Structure 1
Amino acid sequence: MGGAVTMASGSLGGQGAAQAVPVARVRLQNIDALRGFVMVLMLLDHVRETWFVHYAITDPVDARTIMPAVFLARLIVSLCAPVFVALTGLGVFLYSSNHTKAETTEYLLKRGLLLMAIEVFYLSELYWGITQPTLWLQVIWCIGVCMIVLSVLMRLPRPVLIGLGLVLVCAHNLLDPIRLQAGDPFFPLWAMIHQRDTFALPFGLIVKTTYPVLPWIGVISLGFGIGPWFLSDVLPAERRRRLLLLGIGMLVAFFVLRGLNVYGDKPWFVVADSPLRTAMSFFALTKYPASLLFLLLTLGVGTLLLVAFDAIADSGLVRAISVFGGAPMFFYIFHLTVLRILYHSALAIWGPNYGTTFGVENYGWVVAWYVGLIVPLYIPTAWYSRLKRRRRDITWLKYF
């Protein structure tokens, strides 16, 4: 939820948010800054997928074969989805703190359905030029589903909601052995919930369930659950203390569980004569669906980054980064559209230079493109972010 947030005492429980009394209008710039930071990181991975698509990647975290630079970039970019989904839950709580349950439910349903429609009817089509018609149910679809589910779960008592979120995040890997096949009852549903897979639709369409939603429902629920820490009756120092303990706790849990190598993800392994690839194996984590260890590491780091941004909230760096976080949906759609236009323009002008695709010769050019695009993408995003703040009378702007 970009922009200023009207803070209110109380939560959504009890008689609802209608009784919450607004006490201050505060720009939670650290939240926008963290959201903006991960959006900028995400751009790197999308640039790679545009200009380096010819570099065959069977598994982007395969420690034995992947290029170390690509692995490192992928590891860093892994922060994006978990942080964004958790902040979505937090943003919903802040929205609910000065809106009724009915208003919050309406917002979640409309926003969720809109995101799902954008994924299916626009974002998927951006990639049809390089693959067969496929509906990619990716992160925007996933967030949309999670928002719709949260519209129901937010009515639970906060301890129950947090408990449910923890169960979904921590225990969903117990379901990994359940593998359905095409033709099995409920296969498409299970593919969307927990098993990343592909299934066919009429008219030659293919559905790819890139982001099975089950663990992400847990993440958005936990983001909603820590919402009261960000109300005005909690001092900033106390909020930072809680977040610091939470972030450190998640990272300690990650290193302990990963070291034991018994649960939470595929086992890591030693690569003979290669300490680097052994370390890569340790941090090679499953994103689809997001494993317990993947979420512990990324959310732990994200929580500590939130503390850091909170500590320097008045700095120029935070103000600049928060522009991206103030208009995240606009930036997401805009940068993917720009990348597709650039790619297809290059393909039309110079033709394919790697099989049927156009690309750059090494990963250094990917980084160069990434750095070069930040400012050109920043300018329209800043314009749109200012428009959202200035024209609060335009209702539809809050959905983007």
Structure 2
Amino acid sequence: MSEVAQTPTEVIKKRVASIDILRGLVMLFMLVDHVRERFFFHQNVSDPMDLDTTSPELFFTRTTAHFCAPVFVFLTGLSAWLYSHPHNKAPRSATPFLFKRGLFIVFVEIAIINWLWMGNYDTLWLQVMWAIGISMIALSALCKLPYKAILALGLLIVCAHNLLSPISFNPDEAGYTIWAILHDRGIIFESESFRIKASYPVLPWIGVILLGYCMGPLYSRAVEGAKRQSTLVKLGLGFWALLLILRGFNIYGEVLPWEVQQDAIHTVMSFINYTKYPPSLDYVLFTLGAAFLVLAGLENVNNRFTKAIETFGSAPMFYYIVHLFVLLVSYRIVLAAVGPNYGDLFAFDYVWQIWLVAVILAVALYWPTKAFSKFKHNSKNPLVKYF
């Protein structure tokens, strides 16, 4: 009998918990960035960030958020494989679940999240949840392909989509709308009172979710923990080594070449200033390389702190909706009570205030998220499972 077959149940649970811990960690980074979006909008940072107009502290605060979307999309693919290969049960198709949940996420993005961001419907912004939903719908069909075909397609999309950057369409040309949705950002509908903007090009994210799905077998019971850790470390270091070569010599994978700046900190900023819309190859190598190393480090971690972080990753949709609602209401209350201090806006004066408020909100949101997570795992309602 193999060592894996003798592994206690609690070790298996702890192994899978590393996925929720990493998901929870990036969602906490997301909270920091969304506090910035709400309370530091007077110094809004474009994507990619302009080194001529941003401070190092604001730049690195924004950079932490770059890990959120790729890690979350990748883990969504990995979780889809785990769903289709349940422990001690026959494999099942993930297609119906992925398709229905993908549609549900797109609906939530349009009907709820867009209003929580803007407080109005002048513009429908198709953002990260839209990209995740569309990626899940794509995976629902593509997961029927052979494993090697899924892996090859994922690698092809992630590695080669930068070659598509020279392709562009004017708004009045045929192909503009589909290309704005797949690879470029752009307004895909506009009238006098309403417009729709595709903010997250979905094609590269489909590649990322496919790679996540192909990572699933590494988390099967057939793989020993030590081998999984070793593989994750090799992948993480391999991604970063490739990044150093491609980025170091400005060979390929990023439309913004890095340059030596006036000092060391700005040179580092230039080197890690990657394009997010759409996510460049260098961006994916940087973020997922870090994710693999963190997953390896979490393999045998099990303490009160990681359990608390795991809570945020165990009920992601609930946490996402609630934190946006809290930020919207909080901002309007503060603006009404204190009044604007930067033009028509109320804003913090210092970046450290962003982090302080994010910590306070994380503590406040922990308890309702924990309660809902417990409710979700005990509920038999399929709709509740989507949160």
With the shorter chain as reference, the TM-score category is over 0.9
Paired with 2:318 and 2:57, the residues of 1 have a C-alpha distance of: 29
1:203: Cα distance to partner? 6.0
2-side partners of 1:100 and 1:111: how far apart?
Answer: 22
- Deviation at residue 103 of structure 1 after TM alignment: 5.2
Q: Unpaired segments of 5 or more residues in structure 2?
A: none
Q: 1:19 maps to which residue?
A: none
Number of aligned positions between the proteins: 377
- Closer, same or farther in 2 for the Cα pair 1:232/1:260, shift >3 Å? same
Alignment of 1:1-400 (within 5 A): 26-27=12-13, 28-59=16-47, 61-98=49-86, 104-129=94-119, 133-202=122-191, 204-312=193-301, 314-391=302-379, 393-400=380-387
Counterpart of 1:290, as a letter, is: P
Post-superposition offset of 1:150 = 0.3
Which amino acid letter does the alignment assign opposite residue 385 of structure 2? Answer: K
Counterpart of 1:207 in 2: which secondary structure? Answer: strand
Report how far residue 154 of structure 1 moved: 0.3
User: TM-score, structure 1 length as denominator?
Assistant: 0.90
* CA distance in 2: counterparts of 1:222 and 1:357, whole angstroms: 41
Compared CA separation, residues 132 and 29, structure 1 to 2 (3 A):
closer
1:63, distance to aligned residue in structure 2 (A): 2.0
Alpha-carbon distance change, 84 to 58 in structure 1, aligned in 2, over 3 angstroms: closer
Letter in 1 for 2:94: T
Distance 1:247 1:64 in 2: 31
**Partner Cα distance (1:102, 1:30) in 2:** 23
| Cα shift at 1:171 | 0.1
Give the distance between the partners of 2:45 and 2:382, measured in 1 at CA.
42
> Residues 338 and 330 from structure 1, CA distance in 2 versus in 1: closer, same or farther, beyond 3 angstroms?
same
Q: In the TM superposition, what is the alpha-carbon distance from 1:132 to its structure 2 partner? A: 7.0
Contact residue 106 and residue 133 of structure 2 kept, 8 A = yes
1:27-65: CA deviation from partner (whole Å, max 9, x where unpaired) = 211111001011111100000001101114344522222
The one-letter code sitting in structure 2 at the alignment partner of 1:395 is P
CA 1:187–1:102 in structure 2 vs 1: closer, same or farther (change >3 Å)?
farther
1:3 — aligned with what? none
Cα displacement string for residues 162-191 of structure 1 (whole angstroms, at most 9, x for unaligned residues)? 000000000000000011111111211110
CA distance in structure 1 between the partners assigned to 2:299 and 2:131 by the alignment: 28
Moved more, 86-95 or 265-274: 265-274
Contact 1:134 1:206 in 2 (8 A): yes
Shift of 1:202: 4.3
TM-score normalized with structure 2 length: 0.92
Aligned residues of 1:116 and 1:145 also touching (Cα < 8 A): yes
Provide structure 1 residue ranges, at least 5 long, that are not aligned to the other structure: 1-7, 10-22
Report Cα offsets for 1:371-400 as digits up to 9, x if no partner: 211110111001111112222x22211111
What is the CA RMSD across the aligned residues, in angstroms?
Answer: 2.0
State the Cα distance separating 1:128 from its structure 2 match: 3.0
Q: Distance in 1 between matches of 2:269 and 2:239?
A: 20
State the distance in 2 between where 1:200 and 1:358 align: 31
In structure 1, how many angstroms separate the alpha carbons of the residues matched to 2:158 and 2:253? Answer: 10
The change in CA–CA distance for 1:58 and 1:396 in structure 2 (over 3 A counts) is closer
CA 1:49–1:94 in structure 2 vs 1: closer, same or farther (change >3 Å)? same
Q: Secondary structure at the match of 1:171?
A: helix
User: Cα 1:226–1:59, aligned 2, differ >3 Å: closer, same or farther?
Assistant: closer
Per mean C-alpha deviation after superposition, the further-off stretch among 205-214 and 245-254 is 205-214
Matched-pair contact (CA < 8 Å) for 1:60–1:74: no
Q: Secondary structure at the match of 1:311?
A: coil
CA distance in 2, matches of 1:59, 1:227: 31
Distance in 2 (CA, whole Å) between partners of 1:71 and 1:272 is 15
